[in-house]
């Protein structure tokens, strides 16, 4: 049979050809909240994954709705770069009362951009990677929802492509906060110098990437989007929860607050 349950923090599981057994759950010290990687929700996980009793797709949609509350804009349509930010874009569009419209389609015959040997080839790769559905946005003000802008290389040729194909305005809304710090827990985040949020260009990011405006989701907005339904479920459960405010998520790459003491 298939095994779809999440492995709990500290749980030791034995999987054999016959069954799946929990051997033990190593308890956390009472006062420590867990520190589940918040970027799993934003970017890494498949949208149909279920973490902490909630579907990643639903969390991403809530992030888009929260982004619409924090950063609305006068526009005609909402779209995304196919396809990881689609749930957030749908949430944003729904909350703003704007139509969600496809502006790009994926060209399935082109390789991955990140393995191109240099920046120029990477950017050319981006332009070749997508077909432009220009009838859908010619003469219109477009909001593009992205899930994260890490280096800023990928989005800029896309904005150029949309403008050249007739978009009147291109506004970028990012459904996660800027990544500013390295991850010491095993995620390979680019160096501090490479992260756009730490570069001087970040202060005029819209101009740097060629957009009419750029706004990221706040850290509080992300945390509330992730924790909303966990809290609701905790409050509904009959067990008294001592640490309702202590649901733990690691936001170290966004805030620099690490869940463990660094020993160097």
Residues 120-146 have a mean pLDDT of 84
pLDDT tens profile 145-157: 999 999 898 899 9
| CATH at 180 | 3.40.50.2020
Could you list the residue range(s) of the whole structural domain that residue 135 is in? 55-220
Please report whether residue 73 resides in a domain. yes
Residue 121 has pLDDT above 70, yes or no: no
**Tokens 């749980």 found at:** 11
Residue 240 binned pLDDT confidence (cut-offs 50, 70, 90)? very low
Contacts of residue 28, defined as CB under 8 A and 6 or more positions apart, other chains included, come to: 9, 10, 34
Whether residue 202 contacts residue 174, with contact meaning beta carbons closer than 8 Å, is answered with no
pLDDT tens profile 195-219: 999 999 999 999 999 999 999 999 9
**How many distinct structural domains can be found in the chain?**
1
Q: How would you classify the pairing of strands 50-51 and 54-55?
A: antiparallel
Q: Which two tokens stand for residue 135?
A: 């009838």
pLDDT tens profile 80-107: 998 889 999 999 999 999 999 999 998 8
Q: What is the pTM of this model?
A: 0.86
Please report whether residue 20 resides in a domain. no
Please report whether residue 235 resides in a domain. no
Residues 113-120 have a mean pLDDT of 54
The pLDDT of residue 263? 74
Please report whether residue 17 resides in a domain. no
Q: Please give the share of the chain, as a percent, with pLDDT higher than 90.
A: 66
Residue 114 has pLDDT above 60, yes or no: no
How many CB atoms are located within 10 Å of the residue 249 CB? Answer: 21
The pLDDT of residue 174? 98
The pLDDT of residue 101? 98
Please report whether residue 78 resides in a domain. yes
pLDDT tens profile 3-23: 677 888 889 999 999 999 999
Q: How many CA atoms lie within 13 A of 57 on its CB side?
A: 7
Residue 123 has pLDDT above 60, yes or no: no
Residue 170 has pLDDT above 50, yes or no: yes
């Amino acid at each position: 049979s298939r095994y779809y349950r999440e492995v709990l923090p500290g749980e030791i599981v034995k999987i054999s050809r016959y069954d799946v057994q929990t051997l033990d759950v190593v308890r956390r010290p009472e006062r420590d909240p867990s520190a589940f990687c918040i970027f799993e929700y934003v970017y890494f996980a498949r949208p149909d994954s279920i973490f902490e009793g909630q579907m990643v797709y639903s969390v991403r949609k809530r992030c888009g709705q929260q982004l619409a509350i924090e950063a609305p804009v006068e526009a005609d349509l909402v779209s995304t770069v196919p396809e990881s930010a689609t749930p957030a874009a749908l949430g944003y569009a729904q909350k703003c009362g704007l139509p969600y419209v496809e502006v790009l389609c994926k060209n399935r015959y082109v390789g991955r951009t990140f393995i191109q040997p240099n920046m120029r080839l990477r950017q050319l790769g981006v332009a070749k990677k997508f077909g432009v559905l220009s009838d859908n946005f010619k003469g219109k003000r477009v909001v593009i929802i992205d899930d994260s802008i890490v280096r800023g290389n990928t989005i800029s040729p896309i904005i150029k492509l949309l403008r050249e194909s007739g978009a009147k305005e291109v506004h970028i809304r990012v459904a996660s906060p800027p990544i500013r710090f390295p991850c010491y827990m095993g995620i390979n985040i680019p160096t501090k110098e490479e992260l756009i949020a730490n570069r001087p260009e970040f202060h005029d990011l819209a101009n740097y990437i060629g957009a009419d405006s750029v706004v990221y989701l706040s850290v509080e907005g992300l945390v509330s989007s992730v924790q909303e339904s966990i809290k609701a479920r905790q409050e509904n459960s009959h067990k008294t929860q001592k640490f309702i405010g202590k649901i733990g998520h690691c936001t170290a790459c966004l805030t620099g607050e690490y869940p463990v003491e660094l020993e160097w």
